[in-house]
A and B are shown apart, each in its own frame.
Chain A
Amino acid sequence: DTGVSQDPRHKITKRGQNVTFRCDPISEHNRLYWYRQTLGQGPEFLTYFQNEAQLEKSRLLSDRFSAERPKGSFSTLEIQRTEQGDSAMYLCASSLALRVAGRNEQYFGPGTRLTVT
């Protein structure tokens, strides 16, 4: 399967612990996005990378959140000192850059569901 993959699919953690999620984009895609989705809501943008550069961050991305894409391939999203309000589905997506494809169709992974107890 050559789609976007995410690991783990589910994570249960206690409040105050740190967690890290991984996303592997479609191999030829140079853009990678993170979104967060809570129950009954549409996804909300967190941040995106073009290659290894983090080009945009939402105000939702507090200082407890950090994302990296060190070699322009896979990405990690870390949440430090988790809070119950962090419980959500974390979605990753990838796309080609506009200048390459002329369009920005984003393809999503299955998500990581985080539950903070």
Chain B
Amino acid sequence: KQEVTQIPAALSVPEGENLVLNCSFTDSAIYNLQWFRQDPGKGLTSLLLIQSSQREQTSGRLNASLDKSSGRSTLYIAASQPGDSATYLCATTGTSGSRLTFGEGTQLTVNP
């Protein structure tokens, strides 16, 4: 059974700082890994999807990497802004390509 862990559970940084969020998973037989953002009381917004054959994906100030063999992914946020404050969730899809298995998220606060 896949287990996904995110560290840290919460992070507070000053505006402008570069930061890294960590995600680890126990079963390396994944189809892909997806990073999401969730604002309080809202649904999930997809940020980046990395397929199992890929090493990284970039979108604007976000860069996600994937190391399947070690069961790790990182989300790098450059030049953080107060608007980046949210909970960030990572999730894996198994080789059947169906259900997502989520971590518990990292709650990020960027202080002006």
What residues of chain A have their CB less than 8 Å away from a CB belonging to chain B? Answer: 4, 6, 31, 33, 35, 40-45, 48, 55-56, 58, 91, 93, 98, 103-111, 113
Contact A108 B43, beta carbon cutoff 8 Å: yes
Instruction: Give chain B's interface residue range (CB within 8 Å of chain A).
Output: 20 to 34
A4 to B45, CA, bound (A): 11
Residue B61 at the chain A interface, CB threshold 8 Å: no
What residues of chain B have their CB less than 8 Å away from a CB belonging to chain A? Answer: 4, 31-32, 34, 36, 41-46, 49, 51, 89, 91, 93, 97-105
- Closest chain-A Cβ to B103's Cβ sits at a distance in Å of 5
Partner among A4, A40, A43, A104 whose Cβ is within 8 Å of the Cβ of B98: A104
Contact B43 A98, beta carbon cutoff 8 Å: no
Contact B102 A44, beta carbon cutoff 8 Å: yes
Partner among A33, A42, A106 whose Cβ is within 8 Å of the Cβ of B103: A42
Interface of B is mostly: strand
A104 to B42, CA, bound (A): 22
Name the residue of chain B whose CB is nearest to the CB of A6.
B43
19 contacts between A and B (CB under 8 A): A4-B43, A6-B43, A33-B100, A35-B100, A40-B104, A43-B44, A45-B100, A45-B101, A48-B98, A55-B98, A56-B98, A56-B99, A103-B32, A105-B32, A105-B34, A105-B49, A106-B46, A110-B42, A110-B43
